[in-house]
Chains A and B, each alone.
Chain A
């Protein structure tokens, strides 16, 4: 392979990116050395098995990816702002919308959610950690290796360019001969294994590690949503694993699963992809519902309305999510009968979702609503997401979908669902639980400013796309003619995108500002209305979460213990057993990164060596004797004192 094939060449933007990547990496390396932070980084972060720290790392990675995906989005909107624009060529544009989709769903939305659930779920159920702390670290490093690998394609080898759905035969070796789609299959595979492990970990954690007395139907709604999400992950991700493996065989070993000749079936890919892909939509939306339920109840100072029907609707949604995948290709010609059945199952999802919307509205009723930043995102979610929901029902009608399919109408719809649904939720959750991570709140003024920018410009960006779709504009077109009449609405959308970006800049500035100047409160319940167990411990949360295990007697245990003046913690402090830190997960992630990299370029000998290294790592782990350690009582009492907790 020649060097100019290895590195992506020919675009000034790419060279600028290469230079900035090198400069930024050097700055980080020099900075770490100068401030002598290598040891700190290794001991406290890279080797950590603490669920809260892993959660923070997930969120940092997700924010980075938000910006990578966001820059992609801005470039797309810049290109489409005017007709016949020459800013990007077709190839570059195709790569950008492909990576935008993959990164936003798999490397932004998912890790942000997994980050929040890592931080919050063990706290909400009164546990000291997740069921398998070391596995949790492995999950993170596999995700991180996959994400880095995928981003590498930007400067090395070439990005995938067949859309985030990678439909065959377009994504086959025949029609996409560069390594771009190898990056897709390998990077997603590695990250996907990490996600699958997370799903297993959290199912076990939630089922086995709840505080004494907490019944399933007394769990906080966020924990419920994570339990259901984890079950979906467990059933959906193996399908992705298989689909990506078949893709790898087709692209690297001359397989013929999805080819045009020799009996390959392009529809098989579409089916496998969406059998995973549709539940995936609910993997990123159900936790959002959980986050909103917590926030809406906290800031209306009321318990959640219709708890049981909320749980039931999530269960129904999770079941339905597996029987609607064919609505992604109504137009593949499977006839009126099949289309009719999938139309009905798809529309049926509107029923449990509607139940949740009305339950949230009635949670507000007779409450005392305070408009904090997390609550603003939650409240904005309801009307905007409803637009996304009703357009979803419109899309579900097969006969009408023949007209919307693959158009900007669809693009508008799923952004109306995913941005207020998932993005607003993770930002709201981030503001809401921020004190649990760092002991202080983000600035409210800046938070609200960012909110208004994001909420308003979101609509400016995506509302015009509904009309563009109805006017005949397909998605994924890198340009359009002036005669098409798509110009003005595209211009409005592009202006909106700039405003939206500004909102995210303010959001990030807020994080920076608050780290420097925000008052350190260290209150266990800084919002003053916390209802669930995470607010019963200190902020920031000590390594062991709870000095004593809470005794749960019902729902919203912390709220009731406050109101009824009943102690949540009883008994005396005992030594706490904690797992040891370990460098193995990080090293495993690094090896997987190289394994993936070698596979992508079909460098077989290094691949085999890396593969053997993985096996050695796993084997070494089975021979290891590590029983963890105990935190002595004295140390616990000191920590508690330092954090200002009431003692013993």
Chain B
């Protein structure tokens, strides 16, 4: 059967591409512990799956070459074979074992990426609210009391807690080299813990389709040394203008804008949908989630509460 030729070729090129490109593909070129966990999970699963593929392909090629109809076996009557309890058990149990191994890895790594990365637990995370509106990203730094649009600067080797929400359709916050994505939605705040261990400029984007300008909805994450970062914050505080409510509303009404910098945040007049403002809360195993459980439990969502929080400014 000629089929196996091209397929084997694809398989080999797959492996070669993987090994050749691994230093180039963004996801497999992590610059922080979260992305590192994810990329090693991916590579581990690729190896396991390559073994599975190999087994199937070897058997497949064997069956097709050995049992093809030829002139030599013209009168051959294939036997009636019901099946084999043992063989069928084997190819049930081995996949179960593989799935169990992968499940253990998955549960452990899923827990790991939801938490502050190991080794950074004792540091106070830098909280940055990242919210999307139409096709732009707003980054509010409550501690520093500054806000940027479409770019975000972070210090290296310090945990950053992004709090994600949206003033419009669901978007997904993704910085492939620092860690996988999470959704930003209008009625709750999602938390994403990232750490950059290398200085540099990283590509970030919304990866959940959100309408016309979606393709252009990118931002830059600039990881700076703590000293440079502090200097940048000071600079912003000195030079940038304040973000007024009018200015912010105007910003929301403009679908696409370039980079902006402000020396105050929108959180004061337009708080994020968390705590008393929240519809529901799905924080990822976070310590302070406990403090607010009373007001955040969405099973007894309070309609009065909902009215006071207005998400519909957005066109």
Q: Do A and B come from one complex?
A: yes
A residues near B (Cβ < 8 Å) are 90-91, 94, 161-163, 167, 169-170, 174-175, 259-267, 300-303, 305-309, 329, 331-336, 339-340, 343-344, 347-348, 350-351, 354-355, 357-359, 361-362, 364-371, 376, 379-380, 382-384, 386-387, 390-391, 393-394, 396-403, 405-407, 455-456, 459, 463, 467, 469-472, 474-480
Q: Within the assembled complex, what's the spacing in Å between the Cα atoms of A387 and B73? A: 33
Which of A170, A263, A340 interacts with B169 by CB under 8 Å?
Answer: A170
Contact A355 B103 (CB under 8 A): no
Smallest CB separation, A425 vs chain B (Å): 16
A-B contact pairs, 15 of them (CB 8 A): A90-B213, A175-B168, A260-B312, A261-B311, A331-B172, A331-B180, A347-B103, A355-B95, A383-B7, A386-B52, A402-B179, A459-B6, A467-B17, A470-B25, A475-B209
- Among residues 48 to 70 in chain B, which have CB atoms less than 8 Å away from a CB atom of chain A? 49, 52-53, 56-57, 59-60, 63-64, 67-69
B210 contacts chain A at the CB level, 8 A cutoff: yes
**Contact of B21 with A393 in the complex, beta carbons under 8 Å:** no
Chain B residue at minimum C-beta to C-beta distance from A170: B169
Interface string of B1-42 (1 = CB under 8 A from A): 101101100100010010001001111100000010111011
A406 to B171, CA, bound (A): 11
CB distance from B279 to the nearest CB of A (A): 7
Task: Chain A residues near B52: list those with CB within 8 A.
Answer: 354, 386, 390
Evaluate whether A406 and B208 lie within 8 angstroms (CB atoms) in the complex, with A266-B185, A331-B182, A397-B41 already known. Answer: yes
Proximity string of chain B (87-104) to chain A, C-beta cutoff 8 Å, 1 when within and 0 when not: 110011001101100110
Residues of B at under 8 Å CB distance from A? 1, 3-4, 6-7, 10, 14, 17, 21, 24-28, 35, 37-39, 41-42, 45-46, 49, 52-53, 56-57, 59-60, 63-64, 67-69, 73, 76-84, 87-88, 91-92, 95-96, 98-99, 102-103, 105-107, 109-114, 168-170, 172, 174, 176, 179-183, 185-188, 190-191, 203, 205-215, 279-280, 282-285, 301, 303, 306-307, 310-312, 314-315
Q: B78 near A367 (CB under 8 angstroms)?
A: yes
Instruction: Say whether B1 contacts A371, CB under 8 Å.
Output: yes
Other contacts beyond A347-B106, A359-B83, A403-B35: 6, CB < 8 A: A263-B303, A266-B185, A302-B81, A333-B183, A397-B106, A463-B14
| Chain A residues with CB under 8 A of B46 | 394
Contacts of A477 in B (CB 8 A): 214-215
Task: Evaluate whether A91 and B91 lie within 8 angstroms (CB atoms) in the complex, with A343-B107, A351-B96, A364-B64 already known.
Answer: no
- Candidates B112, B303, B307; contact of A399 at CB < 8 Å: B112
User: B10 and A399: CB pair below 8 A?
Assistant: no
Contact in complex: B110, A260 (CB < 8 Å): no
Residue of chain B at shortest CB distance from A270: B170
Residues of B within 8 A of A347 (CB): 99, 102-103, 106
Check A476 against B214 for contact (C-beta < 8 Å).
Answer: yes
| B42/A394 in contact, CB under 8 A | yes
Given the complex of chains A and B, what is the CA–CA distance between A150 and B207 in angstroms?
27
Q: How far is the CB of B238 from chain A (nearest CB, A)?
A: 32
Question: How many angstroms from the CA of A361 to the CA of B1 in the assembled complex?
Answer: 14
The residues of A that contact B186 with a CB separation of less than 8 Å are 169, 260, 266
Q: How far is the CA of A300 from the CA of B76 in the complex (A)?
A: 11
User: Which residues of B have CB within 8 Å of A174?
Assistant: 312, 315
- Chain B residues near A393 (CB, 8 Å)? 45, 49, 99, 102
Contact B6 A397 (CB under 8 A): no
Closest to B10 in A: A459
Q: Would A336 and B111 be within 8 Å (CB), given that A300-B67, A364-B67, A402-B38 are in contact? A: yes
Q: Is the CB of A368 within 8 A of B69?
A: yes
B83 and A308 form a contact (CB under 8 A): yes
B110 touches A467 (CB 8 A): no
Q: Are B182 and A402 in contact (CB under 8 A)?
A: yes
Q: Give the residues in chain A near B310, CB-CB below 8 Å.
A: 261
Question: Closest CB of chain B to A219's CB: distance in Å?
Answer: 16
B63, A365: Cβ atoms closer than 8 Å:
yes
B294 CB to closest chain A CB, in angstroms?
18
Instruction: Give the Cβ gap from A83 to chain B, nearest Cβ, in Å.
Output: 11
Contact between B205 and A309 (Cβ–Cβ < 8 Å)?
A: no
Contact A406 B207 (CB under 8 A): yes
A472 and B312 contacting across the interface, CB-CB below 8 Å: no
Question: Roughly how many angstroms separate A259 CA and B310 CA in the complex, as a whole number?
Answer: 12
Chain A residues with CB under 8 Å of B282's CB are 332-335
Which residues of chain A are near B99, meaning CB under 8 Å? 344, 347-348, 350-351, 393
B residues near A301, Cβ cutoff 8 Å: 77-78
Residues of A within 8 Å of B56, CB to CB, are: 357, 361, 382-383, 386
CB nearest neighbor in A for B218 = A481
Which residues from chain B contact A368 at a C-beta distance below 8 Å? 67-69, 73, 76, 78
Q: Which residues of A contact B213 (CB under 8 A)?
A: 90
Q: How far does the alpha carbon of A266 sit from the alpha carbon of B215 in the complex, in Å? A: 22
Residues of the A chain whose Cβ atoms lie less than 8 Å from the Cβ of B170? 167, 169-170, 266
Least CB distance from B290 to A in Å reads 13
| A351 touching B95, Cβ below 8 Å | yes
Q: Give Cα A31 to B205, complex, Å.
A: 54
B61 CB to closest chain A CB (Å) equals 9
- Let me know if A306 and B83 touch, CB within 8 A: yes
- Would A361 and B205 count as touching, CB distance under 8 A? no
| Contact yes or no, A265 B103, CB < 8 A | no
Give Cα A343 to B106, complex, Å.
7
